Amino acid sequence: MNEAKSRVFHEIDFDKPGRQVGYLRVPQSRDGGAWATIEIPIAVFNGGPGPAVLFTGGVHGDEYEGPIAVSRLARRLDPGALRGKVILMPALDLPAAMAGRRMCPVDGRDFNRCFPGDPKGSFCQVLAHFVDSVILPQVEVSVDVHAAGNAMEAALSSNMHHSQDAGLLARTIAMASAFGAPYNVVFWGVDETATLAAAAEARGVLAIACELGGYGRVSVDGVRIAERGLDNVLRHFGMIDGRPDTTQADGSPATKHMEVRDQRGYVFAPSEGLFEPLHLPGAPVAEGELAGYLHFVEEWEREPIPVKFRSDGYVWMAPGQGRVKKGDVVGVVMRPYAG
């Protein structure tokens, strides 16, 4: 299973006690740089016996809360107070993170659609292969911090795939509850087979991701929830002292568990145009209710098209980029988790 030798090299000793920071060097030959590499930041904290976890940010470069929260944890975590191992990669697709873009500018790919990767492939494929074949086999837990990027804003949430394995499902929900975002969304997946979370699950790693902001800016609450959530996961597994703090801004004590069970939760643009959304993330909505209007500013004669929700629930993802193409998602509705 994907055990071909990686072309990524580094000087990290994953078994060495204490704190190490360094770089993964991904070969990237170019004009003027035959042996050039792209250096991906990595930190490893080894506090002796205990669980091993992977925290990642910057899988998409237009999502900023993960890089901030994961790199800050790398500065403040005390290896002397840690039981187990923490691997931190705050800006995994570094070229995308430096460019503030979803797609990697080196090879034009979405890094989170490249797993399990290919050691002879493009930059994203080589890096995905390294993460899959070298990093994931070392850990039992993965938390991948995302936001909704330039195109959307998410109700602040963790998310996880549904599983037929009742024990695995319960352990993943327990971890998401400990993470303590306002919402946790269990979803059945659309185009989810090539993601980091899917690769982690294929290797038996307990995996959640998060959507902690969007609209191409840094969410104040998203950063706070990301930082607290990473600490909460370490507390949940007994790796640092203390109990998870899951108190919410509205005074409620815990995460609300939600689900997106099928395609009816998704609202698609029926044509190319300018989409005017009518709801903010978290808003309650009903099946048949207007999600927004698709405008055609280039034609006086053409009336805006009303676009409707296809499911009751609450807005998980709200659009905000303006111009959309036919088939783009212009809203995702979550419902209370039915188990």
CA distance 255 to 181: 6
> Toward Zn ion, which CB reaches closer, 107 or 110?
110
Please spell the DSSP secondary structure of 162-181, one letter per residue: --S-HHHHHHHHHHHHHHT-
Residue 205: CB minimum distance to Zn ion, A? 18
Binding region for Zn ion (CB under 5 A) out of 32-40, 116-124, 144-152, 255-263: 144-152
Residue 245: CB minimum distance to Zn ion, A? 25
Binding region for Zn ion (CB under 5 A) out of 24-32, 63-71, 255-263, 311-319: 63-71
CA distance 74 to 86: 9
Give the sign of the dihedral formed by CA 43, CA 195, CA 126, CA 59. negative
Using CB under 5 A as the criterion, what x/- string covers residues 12-51 for binding Zn ion? Answer: ----------------------------------------
Residue 230: CB minimum distance to Zn ion, A? 17
Count Cβ neighbours within 10 Å for each residue of 71-109 and write b for 16 or more, e otherwise: bbbbeebebeebebbbbbbbbbbbbbbeeebbbbebbeb
Give the 3-state secondary structure of 82-139. Answer: CCCEEEEECCCCHHHHHHCCCCCCCCCCCHHHCCCCCCCCCHHHHHHHHHHHHHHHHC
Residue 307: CB minimum distance to Zn ion, A? 24
109 near Zn ion (CB under 5 A): no
Binding region for Zn ion (CB under 5 A) out of 18-26, 138-146, 255-263, 288-296: 138-146
> Toward Zn ion, which CB reaches closer, 60 or 256?
60
Query: How many of the chain's residues bind Zn ion (CB under 5 A)?
Result: 3
10 near Zn ion (CB under 5 A): no
Residue 195: CB minimum distance to Zn ion, A? 9
Binding region for Zn ion (CB under 5 A) out of 47-55, 57-65, 135-143, 281-289: 57-65
Q: Pick from 38, 40, 52, 60: which binds Zn ion (CB under 5 A)? A: 60
Identify whether the C-beta of residue 8 lies closer than 8 Å to the C-beta of residue 76: no
> Toward Zn ion, which CB reaches closer, 46 or 56?
56
Please spell the DSSP secondary structure of 285-298, one letter per residue: E-TTSEEEEEE-TT
Q: Tell me how far CA of residue 229 lies from CA of 217, 245, 256, 311, 324, in angstroms.
A: 20, 8, 15, 30, 33
146 near Zn ion (CB under 5 A): yes
Binding region for Zn ion (CB under 5 A) out of 80-88, 145-153, 216-224, 242-250: 145-153
Residue 59: CB minimum distance to Zn ion, A? 6
- Whether the upstream peptide bond of residue 116 has omega within 30° of 0, thus cis, is yes
| Residues at the site binding Zn ion, with contacts judged by CB under 5 A | 60, 63, 146
